[in-house]
């Protein structure tokens, strides 16, 4: 009888663990779904709403803006999908995927981007949300360099961090002509928020000779 009781309790405990595991999986899936919906809302949905507004009062002069917004929405969607890839800690693979997506976006402009990841370290915790935060921060930095700094050269450097508290540094440097005059709010708070969510740190430097963005990663 004791043996049967032990077997019964063991089975109940096993079922309880299975239920907890199932619940954790469901919560993880729901959390990931919420995160993706938030990113899609911030990027794709915002562009699509603007496109809809422009088409509602269509003016032939808006054609170029509509085209640019639709390309931006498609880029945002592709970056969300790319972030779900398992890069197995390969930071170079993450940035290669980003480069592949961004190059067509700025290839029709005078901007030239140089990528240097020869000294990039391997990171252990490149989760989808970290991948996407890296994508967004670099993407926003490039957009700011073009739109606010009027830069035509950007140098992106990835290397092992010099600080013992971090594992990697990503530098985005440009030759913008009006960096010191840039206002403080053009997406910088959102970039800081993304860095904080992945336990990273973000630094900015704006001068008349150009600007610099430094992303520090722990993962």
Task: Look up residue 167 and give its DSSP letter.
Answer: S
Residue 135 and residue 94: Cα distance in Å, rounded? 8
- What's the pLDDT score for residue 48? 65
Mean pLDDT comparison of 33-47, 136-150, 171-185, highest-scoring range: 136-150
- The overall average pLDDT reported for the chain is 79
Alpha-helical (H) ranges within 127-181 are 128-147
CATH class of residue range 87-219: alpha beta
Residue 114: pLDDT over 80:
yes
- What's the pLDDT score for residue 124? 84
Residue 49: pLDDT over 90:
no
Q: Tell me phi and psi for residue 131, to 5 degrees.
A: -55, -50
Task: Look up residue 37 and give its DSSP letter.
Answer: H
pLDDT digits (tens, 9 = 90+) for 3-33: 565 566 556 656 665 666 665 656 555 565 5
- What's the pLDDT score for residue 88? 85
Q: How confident is the model at residue 170 (pLDDT cuts 50, 70, 90)?
A: very high
Per-residue tokens: 165? 């508290």
């Amino acid at each position: 009888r004791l043996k049967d009781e032990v077997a019964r309790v063991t089975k109940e405990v096993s079922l309880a663990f299975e239920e907890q595991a199932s619940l954790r999986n469901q919560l993880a899936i729901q959390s990931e779904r919420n995160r993706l919906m938030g990113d899609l809302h911030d990027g794709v949905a915002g562009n699509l709403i603007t496109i809809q507004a422009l088409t509602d009062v269509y003016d032939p002069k808006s054609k170029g803006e509509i085209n640019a917004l639709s390309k931006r929405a498609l880029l945002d969607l592709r970056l969300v999908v790319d972030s779900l890839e398992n890069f197995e800690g390969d930071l170079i693979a993450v940035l290669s995927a980003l480069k592949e997506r961004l190059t067509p976006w700025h290839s029709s402009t005078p901007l030239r981007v140089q990528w240097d990841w020869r000294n990039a370290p391997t990171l252990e915790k490149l989760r989808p949300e970290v991948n996407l935060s890296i994508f967004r921060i670099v993407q926003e930095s490039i957009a700011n360099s073009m739109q606010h700094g009027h830069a035509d050269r950007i140098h992106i450097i990835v290397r092992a961090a010099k600080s013992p508290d971090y594992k990697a540094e990503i530098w985005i440097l440009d030759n913008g002509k009006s960096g010191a005059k840039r206002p403080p709010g053009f997406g910088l708070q959102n970039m800081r928020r993304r860095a904080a969510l992945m336990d990273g740190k973000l630094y900015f430097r704006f001068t008349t000779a150009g600007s610099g963005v430094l992303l520090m990663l722990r993962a």
